[in-house]
Chains A and B, each alone.
Chain A
């Protein structure tokens, strides 16, 4: 079987949206697929140093999020709701034996997943390359496009 290739663009930095790119990347790597993740916009939060396990989720603007009791939108705006929703989701994940975002990121690196940070977003947001975890390369749209053009699967998350 010829070596398959996949790229994923990770553009979101909330706890829930950090999972799909990392789950797919680690699984693909375990299935002998060559994987590249391009982190752009809020996706950069996933690869900022010591940040992967600090990502949050908000029930605000997310009516699909299951809550123990129905939360009116106005209550969801309260400052503590983000912390409550984040703690709730983390405990749900833990209870079901789901790896943390940080663990999946480590597993991705370990299994040879290539990580690229979007330099343009870094500049716009004022991030330095030293703010990003080790083992990440820096590039722009053309860097992703070059890999994507030779890939079998390209996903935007």
Chain B
């Protein structure tokens, strides 16, 4: 588990397909203050690469990705 990461907001994007996890993540991160952390849960296998590309492009930081049983959990720090 990620007890070391303080999560400020959680987004459940499980069951959603491209591009919804990215669109919802963008919205959720926008609502955060700088340096706050969003936890996003997805089941879209494409979201692993998508989220990395999105973060790189928008200048936000993925602190950690957890993978397990068809699900992904991303910890995204708003740095942009």
Contact = CB atoms under 8 A, between A and B. Distances in A.
A26 interface: yes
A27 B19 contact: yes
B17 interface: yes
A154 B24 CA distance: 25
Contacts of B18: 23, 27, 98
Interface stretch (B3-11, B51-59, B62-70): B51-59
A1 B22 CA distance: 20
Chain A binding site: helix, strand, loop or mixed by DSSP?
loop
Contacts, number: 40
Given A97-B16, A98-B17, A26 B54 contact: no
Interface residues on A, range: 10 to 19
Given A30-B26, A30-B54, A97 B59 contact: no
Chain B binding site: helix, strand, loop or mixed by DSSP?
helix
A26 B58 contact: no
Contacts of B16: 97
A97 B57 contact: no
A26 B23 contact: yes
Contacts of A111: 23, 26
B23 A32 contact: no
**Lowest 4 CB-CB distances: which A-B pairs, in order?**
A30-B26, A31-B57, A97-B16, A27-B19
Interface of B: 15-20, 22-23, 25-26, 44, 53-54, 57-59
